[in-house]
A = this chain, B = another copy of it.
């Protein structure tokens, strides 16, 4: 989720309140992001302090307060940076392969404690900070938008009916995995990922992701 390279690119968006684009500002922003992620993963949001970030980033407390306002601002900015990576959705050549690859990517990312720590900490922080929740929503909206290409290609290839709700499809694929990871606390493995892909593929083929007019078959209660 976090590509350290993207943070130091000249094209990276300037930090909120920053006056100097790129270069030193980008490095400061990345250092603060790294300290926030380490603190979140090691201690959790409730224990994350400006003092901790100052100590672990080498950025002075007064600079942190001036530029980010406080911990919530740093957390939101760390998520914004995470969203600036170059990740693209899988392109295996067919919808079955793409949905399966998406599901497996989620399962594998969260099976690796090092990869799982930061996104898990962001999801946890959103329970305690409305600003973190807003940043998380923006992150996932953008991330799922990148995934929608999988469905758009499938419609072009004739694998999915025209009018298929791409956003609903890509959310449905990862939903059973996130349910187990963050709500029911049940194990996630390749079989769960395959089940998620199988479910959504069958529903796409049956046209269940094409919004129905109110009162039409399968649309009871949508009016």
Contacts and interface: CB of A to CB of B under 8 A. Distances in A.
Contact of A174 (B97, B104, B179): B179
A47 B66 CA distance: 28
A126 interface: yes
Interface size class of A (residues with CB under 8 A): 35 or more
Contact of A176 (B120, B172, B180): B172
Interface of A: 44, 46-47, 96-97, 100, 104, 120, 123-124, 126-128, 133-134, 136-137, 140-141, 144, 165, 168, 171-172, 174-176, 178-180, 182-186, 190-191, 193-196, 198-203, 205-209, 212, 218-222
Contact of A127 (B44, B186, B203): B44
Contacts of A165: 195
A116 to B, nearest CB: 12
Copies in the complex: 2
A184 B140 contact: yes
Given A200-B203, A203-B202, A206-B202, A220 B136 contact: no
A67 B144 CA distance: 47
Given A195-B168, A199-B172, A201-B218, A182 B185 contact: no
Given A183-B178, A206-B202, A221 B190 contact: yes
A37 B201 CA distance: 40
B171 A179 contact: yes
Contacts of A185: 126, 133-134, 136-137, 140
Contacts of A97: 220
A219 B133 CA distance: 36
Contacts of A96: 218, 220
Contacts of A127: 44, 120, 123-124, 127, 182
Given A136-B185, A140-B183, A198-B203, 17 more contacts: A46-B128, A96-B218, A120-B127, A123-B182, A124-B127, A134-B185, A136-B183, A168-B176, A171-B184, A178-B179, A179-B179, A198-B209, A201-B218, A202-B208, A203-B206, A205-B206, A206-B206
